[in-house]
Structure 1
Amino acid sequence: METKRSRIGNWFKTSISARMLIVGFILVILLIPLSFVKDLIRERGYRQTEVIQEINQKWGNQVTLYGPIIKIPYKTYKEEKVFDPNSKTYIKTFEDVFHDAYFFPENLDINAQIDTESLERGIYESVVYTSDIHLKGNFQGFDFSAEEIPEQDIFWNKATVLMKTSNLKGIRNEISIQLDTSQVNLKPLFDDQAMSTLSSNFLKNIKNDTELAFSMDIKINGSERLQFIPVGRETLVNMKSDWHSPSFNGNFLPDDKTKKISKNGFEANWKVLETNRQFGQQFFDRLPSLSAFSFGTNLIIPVDDYQKTERTSKYGLMIIGLTLLVFLLIQIISKIDIHPFQYLMIGLALVMFYTLLISISEHQNYLKAYLIAGSAVIGLITIYSRTILKNIKFPLLVFSSMTALYAFIFVIIQLENYALLVGSIGLFVILAIIMFASKKIDWNQS
């Protein structure tokens, strides 16, 4: 029995295949704590999202604006036949049915100045904004001919001006609109749609050929996004901000020739015509939801520290596997005995890198956290390998290979458009190095 045990022990010490199996088994075991660390990173990221949403709700959520819109009531007649028992015939009656017509402006010119601000709660930070928005334009007539509505059935004296927004709570000034020489104050109107409505009757005697110029100013708090809906037959939007990382979204993109983005902010211009969208200049009876046609800007935060840490953790298996492979190659080439427990300790130290990274990055920026966590883990494993590998040559190899590996991962995390390309080239180079380094191994020992 003792002889059999000693043979098994000698086989594990001398066989390359046995060593590779042991290291592979340890690598699989290390996936368990690595998965726990990934869950921790995701949990902290979710917590950050919850806090930011709470901050944004109190300040003001994303903003979508559209209008002004002129609403004019009108009526039609519904014919009914009522049986008359006296004459034993059906008598025609007509019942009034009331509707609303909605008219969009001929021209709409919007200027929006966005000033951003950082709000903090504990270790979390959110970027919000205050926007000063000036709208001007004109209406050129209110034509009911498409519905063949007689003039006497149109209630011109009950015309209403509407302004719609997704963020009523964020408005910071009394909203009024200048209609030619009249100034009209808008008040909130109960609306069961997703967009809140500001409304007011304006005491101006308008007709179907009335031209109506308008202008208005809105000061509004918001977060994440500012969007408009192009209700003008020609809609022009100019947007300026001190935010350095805009993401233009929606159905329409700004003019590339006039778009400017720098570290000090951005400026963008849009021009949208009626022919560019899928709705007309007037609606009868019902105003549909037009949110699908919105466009504007997301004030995005460039990849935050939790996102970077989560992306870094995705390379955890590669870092652990390559580091253990370096120790395995050193063991095979140098004939130095490395115990499986020592492989396990090295692997756990590599896993600790991610807990250090996430905890430090909550108080420092990602670069400092990465440098501190990386230096601590590389230093620990290098010193530990010095006690295992005895001479100085192999610990220096461990130090240089780990430094290069962590530097390579850091570069990939910073890249966005070229991350896959650089990662693929880097892995190809690493594979080539391992292939040629393995030529020195006598595989007959397997």
Structure 2
Amino acid sequence: MENQIQSQQNSFFNWLNKSLTVKMAVIGFLILILLIPLVYVQSLIAERAQRQQEVISEINEKWGKEHIISGPFIKIPYIKRTTSNYTDPNSKQVKTSTQYSTSYAYFSPDEINGKTNLDVKTLQRSIYKSAVYEGSIVMNGKLARPDFKTEDIKEEDVQWDKASIVIQTSNLKGIKNNLSVKIGNKNLSLSPKFVQQNESSKDLHSLQSEYFDFRELNSLDFQFKLDLNGSERFSIIPIAKETKLNMKSNWTSPSFVGEYLPKNEDEKVSKDGFDANWDILYYNRPFSQSFFGGLPNLNEYSFGVNLLVPVDEYQKSERSAKYGYLVISFTFLFFFLIQAVNKVNIHPFQYLLIGLALVMFYTLLISISEHSNFLYAYLIAAISVIALISLYTSSVLKKAKFAVFIAASLSALYSFIYVIIQLENYALLAGSIGLFIILGIVMFISRKVEWK
């Protein structure tokens, strides 16, 4: 009786050992287990990318952040009259009272002609780089004559003798010269000053000139020069009826950003840098030439250039890691087909070691790409992992042809993944075709498997 039970147990374990269904279930379970370290790898990539942004932000903070320039505006105070009705408690009659307060009007120029030159260089801290620039902008043009009639403001309520010029910038720290504006026969120095705004705008700070009497100007032509340090981005807000800007730089990979692109964008970039021109009319933007009460936040209408260092290793590593489950699944499938077709035995622990080697590819890729370009990092990591798994396969299965098959399969798979992560517009198409071909090959090989 005991011998019969022992025989049944041996038969059951032999069936488990030989059953392809059980082996497939075990392999599927191992794939699920290996998704855990893959999640940690993706978390590591995100952490390193965040560290990169922190270091770049620290570099830019010390050198000077991005610049957004807006102005010049003419700022003129006026008396605001507010009337209200009330009932006199003694006479019980309705009377009218008038309250007086000081408000401000801002008027944009008729013309702005700007010329900007940005000398861009990279600053490095540890393994991270940031693009910074030393720049200068010269602006000239013609101011508009203020018109208070549109708001029904009386001439005697306008304080013409307390007019001033306001220029806004997002980066006071980056200004490197004593800023002054020449208007007609007057040369006005500017200093930081709080300017009330209609909307919350913590990004822009105001520089305001000393008071002058607008009626004494012999010309409305203006000119000023601004020397500055900045990083990442330079842009201006087109506040004039016609805003023209010429921007030159030695940076060879600009990204023109904002609401408006330069004329003939593709023709302005060369190996020596870029030379871009904008010409924007006030019809092209949805705000008026004058503001009463305060300045609104117009940052969303700015235009200019981004000067970010084109570093996308972390982004490519992240995209590569998203295909990790696909690499592990197909690699296990290759080994399963070898095991099923050739009647060789591969232990689940050996599958687990192979899966861990595949996960190590991504840690190698991240660490090497931080010190080299992505292509070299990908090649080194892929060759290392393929060599390791191939040698292990040759040692475990005792046949060189299995190692050659695995090496060829992994090489094709990693090449396929690399092509996909390099493509943008055709990634889905290439991925679909590649997976279809792989499925066809698997179906062709699996026809020899005896599933019974």
Q: What TM-score does the superposition give when structure 1 sets the normalisation length?
A: 0.92
| Cα distance in 1, alignment partners of residues 160 and 114 from structure 2 | 28
Q: Does 1:54 align with 2:58?
A: yes
Alpha-carbon deviations, 1:112-159, whole Å to 9, x = none?
Answer: 222222112222222222222121110132111212333222221111
Aligned residue number for residue 21 of structure 1: 25
Q: Does 1:196 align with 2:200?
A: no
Q: Does the Cα contact within 8 Å between 2:85 and 2:94 map onto a contact in 1?
A: yes
* Change in 2 beyond 3 A, CA 1:82/1:31: closer
Structure 1 residue ranges without an equivalent (≥5): none
Pairing partner for 1:271 from 279, 282, 291? 279
Q: What TM-score does the superposition give when structure 2 sets the normalisation length?
A: 0.91
Per-residue deviation at 1:257?
A: 5.9
Q: Does 1:165 align with 2:169?
A: yes
Structure 2 residue ranges without an equivalent (≥5): none
| Cα distance in 2, alignment partners of residues 286 and 251 from structure 1 | 23
Please state whether the residue corresponding to 2:77 is helix, strand or coil.
strand
| Cα distance in 2, alignment partners of residues 249 and 5 from structure 1 | 72
| Cα distance in 1, alignment partners of residues 228 and 425 from structure 2 | 35
Aligned-residue Cα RMSD (Å) equals 2.5
Q: Does the Cα contact within 8 Å between 1:259 and 1:269 map onto a contact in 2?
A: no
> Bigger shift: 138-147 or 157-166?
138-147
| Cα distance in 1, alignment partners of residues 377 and 228 from structure 2 | 37
Please state whether the residue corresponding to 2:431 is helix, strand or coil.
helix
* Change in 2 beyond 3 A, CA 1:283/1:81: same
| Cα distance in 1, alignment partners of residues 362 and 177 from structure 2 | 48
* Change in 2 beyond 3 A, CA 1:68/1:412: same
Please state whether the residue corresponding to 1:184 is helix, strand or coil.
strand
Per-residue deviation at 1:428?
A: 2.0
Q: Does 1:12 align with 2:16?
A: yes
| Cα distance in 2, alignment partners of residues 345 and 84 from structure 1 | 93
| Cα distance in 1, alignment partners of residues 334 and 360 from structure 2 | 19
Per-residue deviation at 1:325?
A: 0.8
> Bigger shift: 249-258 or 147-156?
249-258
Aligned residue number for residue 347 of structure 1: 355
Aligned residue number for residue 214 of structure 1: 222
Q: Does 1:390 align with 2:398?
A: yes
Amino acid at match of 1:335: K
Amino acid at match of 1:418: Y
Please state whether the residue corresponding to 2:239 is helix, strand or coil.
coil
- Tell me the percent identity: 48
Q: Does the Cα contact within 8 Å between 1:386 and 1:392 map onto a contact in 2?
A: yes
Aligned residue number for residue 35 of structure 1: 39
Pairing partner for 2:368 from 360, 380, 383? 360
Please state whether the residue corresponding to 1:140 is helix, strand or coil.
coil
Q: Does the Cα contact within 8 Å between 2:184 and 2:219 map onto a contact in 1?
A: no
Per-residue deviation at 1:82?
A: 8.8
Alpha-carbon deviations, 1:385-409, whole Å to 9, x = none?
Answer: 1112222212111111111111222
* Change in 2 beyond 3 A, CA 1:403/1:85: closer
Per-residue deviation at 1:384?
A: 0.5
Aligned residue number for residue 232 of structure 1: 240
Pairing partner for 1:75 from 79, 91, 110? 79
Aligned residue number for residue 184 of structure 1: 188
Q: After TM superposition, list the pairs within 5 Å mapping 1:5-154 onto structure 2.
A: 5-79=9-83, 94-154=98-158
Please state whether the residue corresponding to 1:437 is helix, strand or coil.
helix
| Cα distance in 2, alignment partners of residues 414 and 353 from structure 1 | 18
* Change in 2 beyond 3 A, CA 1:420/1:247: farther
| Cα distance in 1, alignment partners of residues 316 and 424 from structure 2 | 11
Please state whether the residue corresponding to 1:404 is helix, strand or coil.
helix
Amino acid at match of 2:63: W
Per-residue deviation at 1:260?
A: 2.4
Please state whether the residue corresponding to 1:232 is helix, strand or coil.
coil
| Cα distance in 1, alignment partners of residues 126 and 341 from structure 2 | 52
Q: Matched residue pairs, number?
A: 443
| Cα distance in 1, alignment partners of residues 39 and 88 from structure 2 | 82
| Cα distance in 2, alignment partners of residues 411 and 262 from structure 1 | 28
Please state whether the residue corresponding to 2:399 is helix, strand or coil.
coil
Amino acid at match of 2:212: L
Q: Does the Cα contact within 8 Å between 1:63 and 1:227 map onto a contact in 2?
A: yes
| Cα distance in 1, alignment partners of residues 269 and 12 from structure 2 | 67
Per-residue deviation at 1:81?
A: 7.2
Per-residue deviation at 1:247?
A: 2.6
* Change in 2 beyond 3 A, CA 1:132/1:278: same
Q: Does the Cα contact within 8 Å between 2:119 and 2:135 map onto a contact in 1?
A: yes
Amino acid at match of 2:62: K
Q: After TM superposition, list the pairs within 5 Å mapping 1:283-294 onto structure 2.
A: 283-294=291-302
Amino acid at match of 1:152: E
Per-residue deviation at 1:188?
A: 0.7
Aligned residue number for residue 329 of structure 1: 337
Pairing partner for 2:268 from 252, 260, 268? 260
Alpha-carbon deviations, 1:280-316, whole Å to 9, x = none?
Answer: 1111222222122222222233352222211111111
Per-residue deviation at 1:85?
A: 9.5
Per-residue deviation at 1:357?
A: 1.4
Q: Does the Cα contact within 8 Å between 1:137 and 1:215 map onto a contact in 2?
A: yes
